[in-house]
Amino acid sequence: MRKLLTVVGARPQFIKASALSRALADPRWGIAESVLHTGQHHDDAMSEVFFRELGMAPPAHRLHLQDGGVAERMGQMISGIAAVVERERPGAILVYGDTDSTWAGAWVAARMNLPLAHVEAGLRSFDRAMPEEVNRVLTDHVARWLFCPTDEAVRNLKQEGIVAGVHRTGDLQWDTARWMATAQGDSTEGSDAVLLTLHRPSNVDEPVRLRAWLEGIAALGQRVIFPVHPRTAAVCKRVWGGEWQAELNALGFELEPPMGYAELIRTLQRVRTVITDSGGLQKEAYGFAKPCIVARPVTEWTELVSAGAVHLCGEPDALQAAWAWAEEAVPPATGLYGTGEAAVEVAQTLSLAAW
């Protein structure tokens, strides 16, 4: 059995990793996977609940990051991953997406001369001001196997001169969304409510901007289900004080703690529209035929824009126009992200490769 070290650290990565871990458990692939959790997302609502709900075994390795700046935490992740590699001697490292955990794992693979697999390779927002864009570009350029969720991702890599080791597999997050919907009873019947998520630093770290977003959304006059990310909750408290929850309730928000994945998929199926700055939720909204307003000026899922599945809304004062689009939107045909078998394709590719 060849040993594969998978590095995860944030909520979207747990969702994708669960699909591949289920596939790799099949002994025919001859791969023994070990999961390392960097601790980038570490509380129960953002981390542990996902391992329980998605049927994943607890991570074999956990890092315990100390408080500090971005560079300090990145250094802790790199040194922690390197220590596990030295002790466990895996044959390859696999990373997901575009977080700091992704680049930390990629850096270790490159410096320790280990082949790297990047799931969700080739995505580009073309905005280098976003830390995620820098992470995904750097990771792609040191990876041996690049597993692309879409044709557009393959084209992006080709434009950067990357053609070797590129595989168009479909999207592992869609694998898990389909699996979860089936497990709990697939239903697209719902209400006229809006599902809102906001967590990106560019939207929530500045109190004036976060207030503009939330007041603009409230002005739409809709019932809004709002699971509040811990980062967002901290800034809400700065804006509205200790009574911030009551203040937002008065504006029409139905506040929820961060949702587990089962609850998120159940809620998504039962709402009319989504407003989000999350990359993953854009895809899930598309998969379940829900119009999606993206609270960002760009998206790495550019094919969703081309398909008319999402509407980019980079500023709060553009919300009324975005809502007018959502009211008239006709959900496009699904199928951009595969048929739910991406994880099997990744597992088979790794099984046949030399490493």
Question: What sign does the CA torsion over 355, 57, 107, 296 have?
Answer: positive
Q: What is the dihedral of CA 134, 136, 141, 147, to 10 degrees?
A: -170
Distance, first Cα to last Cα, the chain? 12
What's the CA angle centered on 217, arms 214 and 223, to 5 degrees? 110
- Can 199 be counted among the known catalytic residues? yes
Q: Judge whether 310 and 299 are in contact, CB under 8 Å.
A: yes
Answer yes or no: are the C-beta atoms of 147 and 119 closer than 8 Å: yes
136 and 124 in contact (C-beta within 8 Å)? yes
Whether 3 and 91 have beta carbons less than 8 Å apart is answered as yes
Please tell me the distance from the alpha carbon of residue 265 to that of residue 320, in angstroms, as a whole number: 26
The label of the residue with tokens 């039962």 reads 270
The residue from 37, 61, 199, 311 that is catalytic is 199
Which two three-digit tokens encode residue 272? 């009319």
CA separation for the pair 147, 342 (Å, rounded) = 9
Active site residues: 199
